[in-house]
Amino acid sequence: MSFFEQYHAIIPDFPRFQESLHTPLPVHLRVNRLRITPERLERLLAEKGIPVKPVLDPYDTLYAAPGLASPGNLLEYYLGYIHPQALTSCLAGIALSPHPGAYLLDMCAAPGGKSAHCAELMDNTGLVIANDLYTTRHTALGHTLSRLGVFNALITGYQAQQFPMHQRFDYVLADVPCSGEGRFRETKAGVGFREHKGLVKLEDVQRRIILRGFDLLTQGGEMLYSTCTYNPDENESVVNHLLQERPATLCPIPITAPFEPGILKWKDQCYDKRLIQAARFYPHRINSVGFFMARIVRE
């Protein structure tokens, strides 16, 4: 039995989902408005014979680049005009939609694509704290922010679940460490997904991160909790824990992209009915990395 058979009951049109796992992940690019307009970027790539096309209305900075094997080798990459990023990963920043002048914390920021996207949406104003525990990742994180023209960001190195409580934030992005099931594609015959051995410990860390993220919000502040996995134990269960422990409210995910609502039951667990407001992104619905999002407001 395939590893993903355990999700047969919760993934709609499961045969198509299985088929999607046998196709390579497509190349998606996010145009960086801090450096260039989408229209000019299209013209530059067209002059080089590189076809790109907008992939999702009305988001004019998100492009598919079929046939482009190495976008990181393009001059436009080094100039910070583009950032190769999974489509669903780009939607995280759009779902949060931080406003200019805000204070935002990205709790697990490396390699920096989401932090840079948030800075762009904030027009390079306010403050972005790009936090990542592992100092070995800070060089790549800093390079991403610098290449993309971000100058309203600071890099910190705290454990996300122990981030200091000295400052409250208007927005918190908690794209937490997860088992990464949504990234799997079987591009080589017989190579299946390997289950994460420390999953129980991972869920404990995720719960601690989401609680600390919520506690760091200002009154009325918003947090986006996200993973790139399908496992309800890392998704709905973690958010359900927050709803039990804190005065949190779930809000709809404000994006025009195909997704399924959060589930309310998994195995012997029943979740808060508000979790129907969460979003599950599947590769056969939107050809990208599998993703989960929940938008949380502090009352």
Residues forming the active site: 228
Phi, psi dihedral angles at 172 (to 5 degrees): -130, 130
Going by C-alpha positions, the residue among 184, 227, 224 that lies closest to residue 202 is 227
Going by C-alpha positions, the residue among 85, 124, 86, 74 that lies closest to residue 104 is 124
Q: What angle is formed at CA 143 by the lines to CA 44 and CA 93, rounded to 5 degrees? A: 75
Instruction: Return the structure tokens found at 192.
Output: 């299946």
d(CA 212, CA 270): 24
Beta bridge partners of 248: 298
Other Cβ atoms less than 10 A from the Cβ of 286: the count is 18
